[in-house]
Amino acid sequence: MHVTSGLFIFKPIMLTLMTNDINVTKSSVSFISKLPFRVDYGEKFNQYIYPITVHSYTAVFAHVFATIAVDGLYYCLIQHACGMFSIIGYTLENIGKNNDDIFDTKQAKIQDSNYSKTLSCLRKHLLVIEFTERIESLFTKIFLINLNLNMIAGSLTGIQVLMNLEKSAHDVAGPITIYVAQFLHLFLHFWQAQFLLDYSVLPYESICRANWYYASRRCQKLLLLIMNRTTTPCKITAGKIVVLSIESFATVVKTSLSYLTMFRSLQ
């Protein structure tokens, strides 16, 4: 996001520096060319050139920092949930490995260390599942809006790239940068959701690798409860409709390209 905003900001400046126009003055035209996006203040533009310039550049940075803040929170929450699943999986995988063939299957609960570890993992697992459900409820509506806007905006940006292919390179550089940044930003959302899908089934795989047959009957019942819950992986959705994953990202890209083809045919 910072690279994209930097290119978006410095592009008009670099183009201004590279122009061969000898009539470069402090008119409104020269200053408008240095702004990152078009503005229209009428006759007051020349009077407030510098405040308008500062406001334009600040608006770009504010938008980028707001996006990074929301995405950073999302990434941190997902990675924390994945870390908790990893801790639970590591603990469950070591269940029964310190026992031998002559362990007591009817030992008391106080002496049954495997049972205590498994009960603790069960409670933590329920808390992590609740945590992931709250993450999903927090971001599901945002991702639905973001997904639709990215597909439409990506298609329109792609049309802009196609329209400027026959023009100079600086007319294509801007739309291509925005086009790549949009899909990269969307890919990171789907990639983090794929992490959650993979790590949420980690306790099930850990139990399968553990020496559960050396655990007591009460401990095995708890392991079955954990395995039963992990059959449905935790997931992040867009409006409870689309499950975010690498596979669904490929579908989104195909849909966006189909929109691009449709808009191109209507041109």
pLDDT at 2: 73
pLDDT at 165: 65
Which residues contact residue 183 at a Cβ distance below 8 angstroms, ignoring those fewer than 6 apart?
A: 150, 154, 253, 256
Domain boundaries, the chain: 76-266
pLDDT at 29: 47
pLDDT at 27: 46
pLDDT at 168: 60
Asked whether the beta carbons of 249 and 186 are under 8 A apart, the reply is yes
The pLDDT tens digits along the chain (267 residues) read: 777 777 667 766 665 555 544 444 444 445 566 677 777 777 777 777 778 878 888 888 888 888 889 999 999 999 999 999 999 999 999 887 766 555 555 666 677 788 889 999 999 999 999 999 999 999 999 899 888 887 777 777 777 777 766 666 556 666 777 778 888 888 999 999 999 999 999 999 999 998 888 888 888 899 999 999 898 899 999 988 889 999 999 888 887 777 777 766 766
